[in-house]
Chain A
Amino acid sequence: MSVTISSTEPALTTRQLTLAYDRAIVIRDLDLVIPAGQITALVGPNGCGKSTLLRGLARLLKPLKGTVYLDSASIFRLSTKEVAKQLGILPQSPTAPEGLTVRELVAQGRYPHQSWLQQWSAEDDRFLEQALAITGMVELANRPLDTLSGGQRQRAWIAMTLAQNTPILLLDEPTTFLDLAHQIEILDLLYELNQTEGRTIVMVLHDLNQACRYADHLIAVKNGGVYAQGIPSNIMTEAMVQEVFGIESRIVHDPVTHTPMCIPISRKARLA
């Protein structure tokens, strides 16, 4: 696995970003650079603010202070449709209206590329079919979403985000609900999109080992701030896991990918 360590130009930059829900501040004065053309993984314990950060990066949450820059322009100054052509976001557990088919859902991803007159161009068709094919949803395309399994549903939503065809993709826990095979499939898919098309991918991941395997850039979030960031082999230390997650662990060498691997140490003596 070839990892470009030298950070190229930034895809997204935050300056003094402060995010809050109803005055309860979650992220405070954050300066962050998301490197372009790389896979960035956000890790951290539940409630540390990583999903909030992702929503903030995607302009879903208006900051209390500071801003997010996309290509050196403030994301809130650009028209939201322009942003949507650059940046796709898949939030956690979205819901679709009853009876909507997979194909119809994925077609929504083309929304930012359409206009009142041009409602369904040949290009729209191409990206739709491509998104369905990549996610393996062709067979299920005409099924209503509510008749699918959790994993199939998640793939349909990812297909929608792919149909949007944006250079930057933000995903909040894209592998939840998926079995191991599908988890690897989705992560491989994102890796491939990154490698072949140079897309920037930012995702919240819970599995530290998967984060280390797939990410070029790892950001550990703790209490609404960045605890550490950089290439996984530098960041993934026993001290970091202790500080951020509050558990003892041993970091070993992954024999397959040569990335760090975290083995948590159980608090039960029997398993220690």
Chain B
Amino acid sequence: MKHAATKPSPPSAPPSAHSAHVNLLRLIGLGIGILLLFGCLIASLLLGAADLDPRTIWQALFAFDGSTEHLIITTVRLPRSLIALTVGAALAVAGAITQGLTRNPLAAPDIVGINAGAALAVVGATFLFGSASSHTYVWFAFLGGTLAAIAVYVLGSIGRSGLTPLKLILAGAALTYLLSSLTTGMLILSQRTLDEIRFWLAGSVAGRDFATFTSVLPYMGIGLLVALILSRQITMLTLGDDVAKGLGLRTAWVKATATVVVILLAGSSVALAGPIGFVGLVVPHLVRFFAGVDYRWLLPYAAIAGGTLLLLADIGARIIIKPQELPVGIMTAIVGAPFFIYLAKQKVKR
């Protein structure tokens, strides 16, 4: 080496230092997010038809004495809050993955037909067998959502090129329309079914007990875990099929696994809380403004933001028209949409 290449070309800060700085910021953001989430969880336990004080909550959790207040906390507030948290997290993560998989900002877990399938199954069951309990709703919803998603996946994979984003989107949209028109048909034919099911259709986390929650939790847990493990691969997939393959990714396998994750997360969410549309579509965009496009950051951020949003929305749903309740699916949009519009305006340039 005759001339030592001592002169590093770019005059700006070296890239490694820059990215370390960004990562530190993101880590701090994640910490703040977790604190916020925890705060919302506490608030969710405190607020409601009857406001309670923090000491009562502590005692109910660790020195349960069977009083009405303690019962409210352990059998009503706690399951409901945990469901809101996990459903929000699951939907947001599922949405982020769906948008990555389809490379389309308009995609949401509903696009693979999960919500439409679940709604059809639950409405169909109520239509055919009369009123059902919320326990049976869970399994009908899970089953309907899963079957629909599998159908969409298979239809979208037809052909030599395998699963392409366009085919997935179109197959999903077509099947979603087909299923929801069947649902609407039944609701128009039977006013009784409509009356019974409309609160569920708007999405709600009220009136679920611990048993329901714990029976679905494993599916969600597995889904979230696999999603986090898969986050690096999904980031690669967003670069396009060919690039991802070139980087040594087994794209078909990753797509299949990612789809299973979406089905697990969105399926169990719709089972627990009914079809909530907004979270899965919008939260990924929301957190992309802070967490960038790397799914290793995006997914944890999405989980925290989704959980926080749904907790906040559920608190709002409880206290806005006390003692009546609003469906949480409606509140999420009312809470989140203005903020989302503001961010889209601020952050999307060109």
The residues of A with any CB-CB pair to B shorter than 8 Å are 21-22, 45, 98, 223, 245-248, 265, 267-269, 272
Contacts and interface: CB of A to CB of B under 8 A. Distances in A.
21 contacts: A21-B350, A22-B349, A22-B350, A45-B9, A98-B166, A223-B11, A245-B9, A246-B7, A246-B9, A247-B5, A248-B3, A248-B5, A265-B2, A265-B3, A267-B1, A267-B5, A268-B1, A269-B1, A269-B2, A272-B1, A272-B2
Nearest to B5: A267
A124 to B, nearest CB: 31
A263 to B, nearest CB: 14
Interface in B1-43: 1-3, 5, 7, 9, 11
Nearest to B3: A248
A28 to B, nearest CB: 15
B243 to A, nearest CB: 13
Nearest to A265: B3
Nearest to A266: B1
A269 B4 CA distance: 9
B231 to A, nearest CB: 27
A248 B7 CA distance: 11
Nearest to B166: A98
A123 B350 CA distance: 36
Contacts of B3: 248, 265
A172 B319 CA distance: 59
Interface residues of B, dominant DSSP: loop
A223 B166 CA distance: 40
A268 B2 CA distance: 9
Given A98-B166, A265-B2, 16 more contacts: A21-B350, A22-B349, A22-B350, A45-B9, A223-B11, A245-B9, A246-B7, A246-B9, A248-B3, A265-B3, A267-B1, A267-B5, A268-B1, A269-B1, A269-B2, A272-B1
A223 B10 CA distance: 10
Among A98, A245, A247, find the residue whose CB has the most chain B CB atoms closer than 10 A.
A247
Nearest to B7: A246
Contacts of B7: 246
Contacts of A265: 2-3
A272 B11 CA distance: 26
Nearest to A47: B10
Contacts of B9: 45, 245-246
B292 to A, nearest CB: 17
A247 B7 CA distance: 9
B1 to A, nearest CB: 4
Contacts of A223: 11
Contacts of A248: 3, 5
Interface in B53-73: none
A246 B6 CA distance: 10
Interface string B127-146: 00000000000000000000
Interface in B65-95: none
Nearest to B1: A269
A80 B166 CA distance: 34
A272 B7 CA distance: 17
Interface string B293-312: 00000000000000000000
A268 B3 CA distance: 10
Q: Kindly list the 9 A-B residue pairs having the minimum CB-CB distance in the complex, ordered from nearest.
A: A269-B1, A246-B9, A267-B5, A248-B3, A22-B349, A272-B2, A272-B1, A246-B7, A267-B1
A45 B9 CA distance: 10
A22 B166 CA distance: 32
A47 B349 CA distance: 19
Contacts of A22: 349-350
A99 to B, nearest CB: 10
Interface in B318-350: 349-350
A91 to B, nearest CB: 13
Contacts of A21: 350
Contacts of A267: 1, 5
A267 B5 CA distance: 6
Among B9, B11, B166, find the residue whose CB has the most chain A CB atoms closer than 10 A.
B9
A114 B350 CA distance: 28
B165 to A, nearest CB: 11
